Amino acid sequence: MSSNTPSSSAGGVGSADAAAPRRNSKRPKYSKFTQQELPACKPILTPRWVISAFLLVSIVFIPIGVVSLFASRDVVEIIDRYETACVPQNFSNDKVSFIQSAVDKTCNRTLTVKKLMKQPIYVYYQLDNFYQNHRRYVKSRSDSQLKDNSSWNDVSSCKPEDMSNDQPIVPCGLIAWSLFNDTYNFSLNNQQLAVNKKDISWKSDRDKKFGKDVFPKNFQNGTLIGGNRLDPSVPLSEQEDLIVWMRTAALPTFRKLYGKIERDLQPNEVIQVTLLNNYNTYSFNGKKKLVLSTTSWLGGKNDFLGIAYLTVGGLCFFLALSFTVVYLVKPRQLGDPSYLSWNRNPAGH
Amino acid sequence: MARGRIRARLRRSHLYTFSCLRPSAAEEGPHSIEGPGYSRIVHCNQPLMHNKKPFKYRSNYISTTKYNFVTFLPKALYEQFHRVANLYFLGTAIISVTPLSPFSAVSMIAPLAFVVGLSMAKEALEDWRRFMQDMKVNTRKVKVHKEDGIFGNKTWQKVQVGDVVKVEKDQFFPADLLLLSSSYEDGICYVETMNLDGETNLKVKRALEVTLSLDEDEAFKNFTGTITCEDPNPSLYTFVGNFEYDRQVYALDPSQILLRDSKLRNTTFVYGIAIFAGHDSKVMQNATKSPSKRSRIERKMDYIIYVLFSLLLMISLISSIGFAVKTKFYMPDWWYLQPQHTDDYYNPEKPVLSGVSHLVTALVLYGYLIPISLYVSIEVVKVLQASFINQDIQMYDEETGNPAQARTSNLNEELGQVDTILSDKTGTLTCNQMDFLKCSIAGTAYGVCSSEVELAAAQQMAIDLEDQDAERSTGSRQKGKQQEIELETVVTSRDEKDHKSPIKGFSFEDSRIMKGNWLREPNADVIMLFFRILAICHTAIPELNEETGSYTYEAESPDEGAFLVAAREFGFEFFKRTQSGVFVRERYSVAGQPIDREFKILNMLEFTSKRKRMTVIVRDEDGQILLLCKGADSIIFDRLSKNGRLYEEDTNKHLNEYGEAGLRTLALAYRKLEESEYSAWNNEFQKAKTSIGADRETLLENVAEMMERDLILIGATAVEDKLQKGVPQCIDKLAQAGLKIWVLTGDKMETAINIGYACSLLRQGMKQICITANSSDAKETLSLFVTVQVVKENILMQITNASQMIKLENDPHAAFALIIDGKTLAYALEDDMKQQFLGLAVDCASVICCRVSPKQKALVTRLVKEGTGKTTLAIGDGANDVGMIQEADIGVGISGVEGMQAVMASDFSVAQFRFLERLLVVHGHWCYKRIAQMVCYFFYKNIAFGLTLFYFEAFTGFSGQSVYDDWYMLLFNVVLTSLPVISLGVFEQDVSSEVCLQFPALYQQGPRNLFFDWYRILGWMGNGLYSSLIIFFLNIIIFYDQAFRSGGQTADMAALGTTMFTCIIWALNCQIALTMSHFTWIQHLFIWGSIGTWYLFLFVYGMLSPTISGNAYQILVEALAPAPIYWSATLLVTVACNLPYMAHICFQRCFHPMDHHIIQEIKYYKKDVEDQRMWSRERSKARQKTKIGFTARVDAKIRQLRGKLQRKHTSLEMHSPVTPS
């Protein structure tokens, strides 16, 4: 379309001695585009449009809200906060020294199932006040190193956790270094409840981002030990805890998938949890929670989406209603010229 | 050539009474020239003398460019970084190469380079055009004395002070010259000064008597002389100097000076000495520096930028303080960050340092609040808008072949906010062509053609009457019908005439006196006398056109030319002028044979603006002495004899009619003289003519006065000063759109007033306030200082009286017109008086300033611009308008005429005045709304986006992490949101162009600034704030901690960021769709295409290697698209963001509809087609209540008619009881 517009503006005025043949060339070419006469739809907000638009929104939104709310209500969640309870009495005033000491960190918790939980039941750990989104933290990783064995010494972005004993660390960086290392063991009626730790990470991460030929090397070998150690014989693509951990959370409060329990839990069943409370959240007063949750098609338990949909839908319904009332009570005939400024206010201007 | 010589031999000065034949030289001594300001010495014919030290005068090379090759880069860069925003972006670009930057260096530097480069390229192009124009002038050729009396061609730039220059007919003078001699033996020449002051009548310049002999090339062999004169100054009408020649000193005055850029006319050649060259010449001294103009919206945008800057600074400070606090108090506990191994940036030990460095980071990070893309987009949009203006076929002039042109694109939207138009007259409103249209002879009006004004007014009236009919009683309808029929005949007669090939200067038509039919009229002898006066009483020279065999005339003023053409067409062809006589060929005589008659010219008392009349005394072939006189009606009527008033009443009536029709009128009278009476008077006259002394002119005038009395009135002429096509209609529309129109002209007051009538700026019944300074009375008795004081007080009194009068006026329909001349204006523009003057001028419906110099035009423009604070537009065609064009907020030049100076200085050029209507009412209106909406939307968009970054900051411990991928950020302004906003800025139309033209009142939305006031801007900013909150917090809560899909995985930063970004793209693009009211396929493509592009990008980006895409790898395909919560969050946030705006516009349309809303609705329901009466009624109501334009004139007329009707009714009622009885 724009090729129709000759660039007559360029030379135009400079050459005043326009000869006769040039005259015609200065004549703008007619096209609907250049004359700004392209066919256009000019929708205007007539009352019918307004009311039906608002109504449409409410008609769409309220069912969505209801469905979401139901979906969210279907999800059963058991949350157990354990970071305080799992500190022995004698350390209760100095939890940091407890976590840094070599004391046995085993801790037993019991969870009661309130409602039927259909499998799969997802096990999460939830940390709080943990800035996984801190700029220094987020940047401290090397994607190329994780992906490919050949670039194992590409650690420039991983400072300060790049080298240890003058050898590159695989996987390098603060994120990997601070890998979460609490472990959970579940038993139901003294019977071990299997936790499936396969397929808890994103498939593409396993397949493409974490190399099958990349093995942990020189990891947690420095003077400062951060979090969990990794089995050097297992390739990174199978270290799913690491893969999950490396997807940094957006907010300082976050849950991460620990594993799946692949059997239904009946109401009033009591689950025994034996956990190793290794991870230091005490320095920064972070909470630790163990979460067992089912999911719906919409994900986990979150009533907010449904409520928000209902609110917006309700609001639109209200607006539709009030505009209807207004048009019924005090209709303004559309295109009524008496509303033109010169008619409304003859003394004006 | 032969003819030229014959003419040259004519001593024209014999014909003149006043200006020439002055006793030469000795009458006044040389000026005593000394002291500062009078240091210039010019050695004539020795130009090389001026190369040496004490002189070193400037060369004749001129340059009006802003830059040259060396200074371009630094100067243009300085200009660019003068903008605060650019400086900021420069800062961020510098930071971006340091590790402090949250983004990559390229993403910061590239857009800046693009913006600055684009603007600089534009500057360079514009300057290059100026340079080419200068070069064209500099390389013009002129003949210059080389040596030994040989003249050779030189370019203008090589002409030096002291050169003897020979200028030939119709050439421009290359520098300010001292006239030495001309082809006429008495050394006079004719000069056209249109480029200087816009006046089109020729001016006579006269050489000193002593240099008359230097009239051939050889004479300059050994010519020397010295000129001592004033230093270069901008005053066009003064010159003081002495000329030393042959050891004698002669005084020089302005009448010997030929100014650069004026043109030699009617004279074969002149010789002159260059006194002032190049930038020293008076016209160049008059030139004002061309200022760079910025539109009102852009200036306001700066304030918004400041607001955003403070916002930016505030949130940056908040986050850097937050960061410092977090780093100092919390970070030591965050072992996972290894706080003990940090560089300075994260060092808890040095919180101040890290806080400061974080401030820098934050300033870059939140840079999205200051939209750099805004400048790029606005630049792009304006260029496109300008190209639409250039392409508008309805502003293309077929005759000259010139389209309208936006020469600078940064003032487009200013066109929509104009409040006052300052217009030049000649060449802009009028074509400077006089047409003989009507006459009144012996109390009978002849001429059936109507003037363009009448015609247009008639059409308007017809439309109006149609409307009025509906409301009026049946009785008056007949009257209306009658009028309509009358009007129709007028219209049709005009149409017929157009088919014939019209004679230039003659549009008369009346079979009663054409083709010799006048012989059969009752007063044939009077009619003959009338035609004779036309053919004899003038100062023109005939010129035979050999091709057609007819004569054309070189007259001093176009009126005279029109008279002569008229006389020729009536059969009284003036064909020869000799020293003593005028020869007229009478085609239709009583005898039936063409007769050549000679009239001996005894005396000629020519026209001056003070006398306002011209008289010749001739002896006809019978020996009868006749005094023939033409002049302003008031002057002639005062001088009629008792028995000469036979036709006075009828003629007066006709004169009034002509005046109302906007025609220039002159009354014609004669007187028969007895031989003795004449010779007695002639003696007196000759005595006065040869008298020496200051009172010579007064003496001459008195003598002339003695003769010009006891006249017998014959009739009157009406000449149309031909307006440019469509001028009255355009002025009417512009007045209806609420624009004020001032006319600034270099012309005489009478001419200006006539034009005022012609284009309906003045009308009958308007109270004219003429402010003049009668300085002549006081001059003689008082010293200079006191005179100025007295004159000023006098003017001030006039102004205050007039203001008082306006205040006391209680008739709402009363209209006032202010007419002021240049001399008075000079006082009125002084600091102590200009406010009063402006106050008065603003109260008047129309303002006409006459006899103003170019500088004064600029000063008046500045006064209006600064005094009222409103947008001014100046339009003109000549070099004398350049100052005004540059001074005004918008300068418009008329292209297609000779000089290009006005166009070169202008911001827009149109071929005709009438295109101004479309330029303002359509393009201005659109551009204003487009830019206003676009800028508002831009701020909305960037606030909505930028603030989400800030909120997220607060959740990351103010560490400077962005929730979005770098690529998203980069694409946000460049790809994902730019095209819709550009389409808004380029294609949006609230109503179509026809509606804009039909409802000029809609234009007022611009001057009243309804779309870019702070209320609206803050509203949009508030909307942005709201949207950012909704987008961020809804997403945060939705993706808080639980699984976001059935697979159990929780959302990480990439998933949250991408969802949030999707919401932003949707919300912003839906918002712009709501803002628009005009969707062509382009808008649809851009808006929905932008959204589609986002998904496409996300898909493609996800396919790239994870080393490039990082956490966004396969994010759409694997994680988000299968998750229903992603889609439902998008829908929720999009709707929630736009809900308040939607409710707002629904509410506004429902309860407070604006004019364009209603009109859109009318159009939507096609009510204008169904109910045409309503449509046309609204159209006529939609006018701003104006007091100018012919609509106002028609209104006044209708009021007057109604008044009459009422009176008639009442009188009828009074009579009616009587009639039955």
State how far the Cα of B1068 lies from the Cα of B1014, in Å rounded to an integer: 21
Domain housing A320: 43-75+301-334
B441: part of which helix (H) or strand (E)? strand B430-441
Contact in structure between B436 and B566 (CB atoms under 8 Å): yes
Do A96 and A168 fall within a single domain? Answer: yes
- pTM comes to 0.81
Chain A residues near residue B338 by CB distance under 8 angstroms: 160-161, 174, 224
Pairing type for strands B908-910 and B405-406 reads antiparallel
Phi, psi of B847, rounded to the nearest 5 degrees: -130, 130
State how far the Cα of B569 lies from the Cα of B581, in Å rounded to an integer: 21
Do A171 and A71 fall within a single domain? Answer: no
Q: How far does B1125 lie from chain A, in Å, by closest CA? A: 6
What average pLDDT score do residues B1082-1089 get?
Answer: 94
State how far the Cα of A141 lies from the Cα of A130, in Å rounded to an integer: 17
Do A285 and A306 fall within a single domain? Answer: no
pLDDT for the residue B33: 61
Is A120 part of any domain?
yes
Do A86 and A70 fall within a single domain? Answer: no
Contact flag A126-B1161 (C-beta cutoff 8 Å): no
Residue of B931, B888, B883, B891 lying closest to B910 (CA atoms): B891
Test the A interface: residue of B132, B391, B1174 with most A CBs within 10 Å: B391
Q: Would you say domain B394-430+727-921 falls under CATH 3.40.50.1000? A: yes
Angle between helices B524-536 and B558-570 (to 10 degrees): 140
More confident residue, A160 or B1083: B1083
Residues of chain B with CATH 2.70.150.10: 159-286
Do A238 and A305 fall within a single domain? Answer: no
Chain A residues near residue B1185 by CB distance under 8 angstroms: 349
Q: List all residues 6 or more positions away from B320 whose beta carbon is below 8 Å from its beta carbon.
A: B355, B356, B358, B359, B362, B958
Least CB–CB distance from A28: residue in B386, B396, B1081: B396
CA B1066 distance to own-chain centroid: 45
Contact in structure between A77 and A293 (CB atoms under 8 Å): yes
* Catalytic center residues of B: 424
What is residue B554's three-state secondary structure?
Answer: strand
Sorting pLDDT into bands at 50, 70 and 90, what band is B824? confident
Is A283 part of any domain?
yes
The CA angle B965-B971-B972, to the nearest 5 degrees, is: 90
Do A265 and A305 fall within a single domain? Answer: no
Do A190 and A148 fall within a single domain? Answer: yes
Asked whether residue B664 is marked as a ligand-binding residue, the answer is yes
Q: How far does A202 lie from chain B, in Å, by closest CA? A: 8
- Per-residue model confidence as pLDDT tens digits over B674-691: 888 888 888 888 888 777
Contact in structure between B1114 and B1102 (CB atoms under 8 Å): yes
Is A20 part of any domain?
no
Sorting pLDDT into bands at 50, 70 and 90, what band is B692? low
pLDDT at B813 over 80: no
Do A323 and A238 fall within a single domain? Answer: no
Do A158 and A178 fall within a single domain? Answer: yes
Is A11 part of any domain?
no
Do A249 and A308 fall within a single domain? Answer: no
Do A187 and A156 fall within a single domain? Answer: yes
Is A195 part of any domain?
yes
What DSSP string describes B448-487? ----HHHHHHHHHHHHHHHHHHHHS-HHHHHHHHHHHHHH
Phi, psi of A111, rounded to the nearest 5 degrees: -120, 140
How many residues are given for chain A?
Answer: 349
Q: Which amino acid is at B865?
A: K
State how far the Cα of B976 lies from the Cα of B865, in Å rounded to an integer: 41
Is A152 part of any domain?
yes
User: How is residue A238 written in tokens?
Assistant: 């199978």
Q: List all residues 6 or more positions away from A300 whose beta carbon is below 8 Å from its beta carbon.
A: A75, A77, A293, B1041, B1042, B1043, B1044, B1048, B1050
Contact flag A13-B1185 (C-beta cutoff 8 Å): no
- Per-residue model confidence as pLDDT tens digits over B375-413: 778 888 988 899 899 989 888 888 778 888 888 778 888
Q: How far does B907 lie from chain A, in Å, by closest CA? A: 12
B1049-1064 in b/e form (b: 16+ CB < 10 A) is bbbbbbbbbbbbbbbb
Q: List all residues 6 or more positions away from B993 whose beta carbon is below 8 Å from its beta carbon.
A: A36, B918, B922
User: How is residue B444 written in tokens?
Assistant: 């009978």
More confident residue, B553 or B344: B553
Contact flag A284-B334 (C-beta cutoff 8 Å): yes
Name the one residue in this structure whose structure tokens are 């006081």: B778
Q: What is the CA radius of gyration of chain B?
A: 38
Do A248 and A317 fall within a single domain? Answer: no
User: How is residue B498 written in tokens?
Assistant: 């157009």
Name the one residue in this structure whose structure tokens are 């423009």: B861
Out of B191-200, B701-710, B728-737, which region has the weakest mean confidence (pLDDT)?
B191-200
In DSSP terms, which residues pair with B418 in a beta bridge?
A: B871
Could you give the number of structural domains in chain A?
2
CATH number, span B159-286: 2.70.150.10
Ordered alpha helix ranges (H), B626-674 = 633-638, 648-660
**DSSP, res A59:** H
Residue of A nearest to B1177 (CA): A337
- Per-residue model confidence as pLDDT tens digits over B441-476: 888 888 877 776 666 566 656 655 555 554 444 444
User: How is residue B265 written in tokens?
Assistant: 């006319």
CATH number, span B517-721: 3.40.1110.10
Tell me the count of A-B CB pairs closer than 8 A.
324
Is A4 part of any domain?
no
Chain B residues near residue A333 by CB distance under 8 angstroms: none
CA distances from B778 to B40, B364, B650, B792, B797 (A): 33, 71, 40, 12, 16
- Per-residue model confidence as pLDDT tens digits over B528-545: 888 888 888 887 877 777
Sorting pLDDT into bands at 50, 70 and 90, what band is B887? confident
Q: Which residues of chain A have pLDDT under 50?
A: 1-23, 346-349
Residues of chain B with CATH 3.40.1110.10: 517-721
Least CB–CB distance from B338: residue in A41, A174, A295: A174
Is A174 part of any domain?
yes
Out of B59-63, B481-485, B1052-1056, which region has the weakest mean confidence (pLDDT)?
B481-485
Residues of chain B with CATH 3.40.50.1000: 394-430+727-921
Out of B251-265, B408-422, B721-735, B772-786, which region has the weakest mean confidence (pLDDT)?
B772-786
Name the one residue in this structure whose structure tokens are 């019209």: B502
Is there a cis peptide before residue A171, judged by omega within 30 degrees of 0? yes
Handedness of CA B702, B703, B704, B706 (dihedral sign): positive
- Per-residue model confidence as pLDDT tens digits over B1124-1158: 999 999 999 999 999 999 999 998 888 888 888 88
